[in-house]
Amino acid sequence: MLSKPRARPLALLAIGLSALLMVAGCGTPREVDTFYFQMNGLQAPRQGGAQIDLIVGLRYADGTTPQQIPDYRPIAELAEGFLQPTDALPANISWESLLRTMVPAIMQAGPISGVSVVLRVHPRCDDKATTDLLRSAIYTMGDIDPIPFDIASEVPCQTVASGP
């Protein structure tokens, strides 16, 4: 005698979970707005003087309307302002420490849910092992992936004044 097929509990659980996720909105792709800008060849009087590039990524908060999207230029000025030494951030502070202060300040510049910044220091090309290399720091905060960065990208050397 054949018995009636029984529903498999795991199959029902999977169907129920799938339906629950669709109702919760997890089954549709999430829309996000992310904006990047880059400032090249900035002069920073930090760490003996450096030429740097800043690459800034902004993820706007969910539900941000086009009218609420902030103008990036004041954010760029804010970021560039951190290159100047202050009592709180002296000239010899590490680039990583600088970014740990800069990024939270940028987060306050509008309806922003995530910020990622790459600070790339140009090599001095003065044949010294400590300065004749490209180096960078990346700091990310909030709902954004770190900026993908290729350390092998070429940047021009800083002009180094020759001695007497």
Report the C-alpha gap between 118 and 150 in whole angstroms: 11
Least confident of 29-38, 72-81, 95-104, 105-114: 29-38
Ordered strands of the 34-44 beta sheet:
34-44, 50-60, 112-121, 135-142
pTM confidence score? 0.74
**Amino acid (1-letter code) at residue 123:** P
Would you say residue 100 lies in a domain?
yes
Band (pLDDT 50/70/90 cuts) for residue 9 is very low
| Mean pLDDT (the chain, rounded) | 80
Band (pLDDT 50/70/90 cuts) for residue 154 is low
Into how many domains does the chain fold? 1
Q: What is the mean pLDDT of residues 24-34?
A: 68
> What would the pLDDT profile of 76-98 be if each residue is shown by its tens digit?
999 999 999 999 999 999 999 99
> What would the pLDDT profile of 39-85 be if each residue is shown by its tens digit?
999 999 998 888 999 999 999 999 999 999 999 999 999 999 999 99
Would you say residue 20 lies in a domain?
no
Would you say residue 153 lies in a domain?
no
C-beta separation of 137 from 119 below 8 A: yes
Least confident of 104-113, 119-128, 134-143: 119-128
CA dist 102 to 6, 19, 60, 77, Å? Answer: 61, 43, 17, 11
DSSP strands (E only) in 26-111: 34-44, 50-60
What is the CATH number for 59? Answer: 3.30.1130.10
**Amino acid (1-letter code) at residue 130:** T
| Rounded percentage of the chain residues whose pLDDT exceeds 70 | 70
Report the C-alpha gap between 128 and 16 in whole angstroms: 64
Band (pLDDT 50/70/90 cuts) for residue 158 is low
For the four alpha carbons of 97, 103, 104 and 109, in that order, the dihedral sign comes to positive
Report the C-alpha gap between 55 and 118 in whole angstroms: 5
**Amino acid (1-letter code) at residue 75:** I
pLDDT of residue 94: 94
In which domain, by residue range, is 101 found? Answer: 34-142
Band (pLDDT 50/70/90 cuts) for residue 131 is low
Would you say residue 42 lies in a domain?
yes
CB burial of 72-96 (b: ≥16 within 10 Å; e: otherwise) equals beebbeebeebbeeeeebeeebebe
Would you say residue 107 lies in a domain?
yes
Report the C-alpha gap between 14 and 9 in whole angstroms: 9
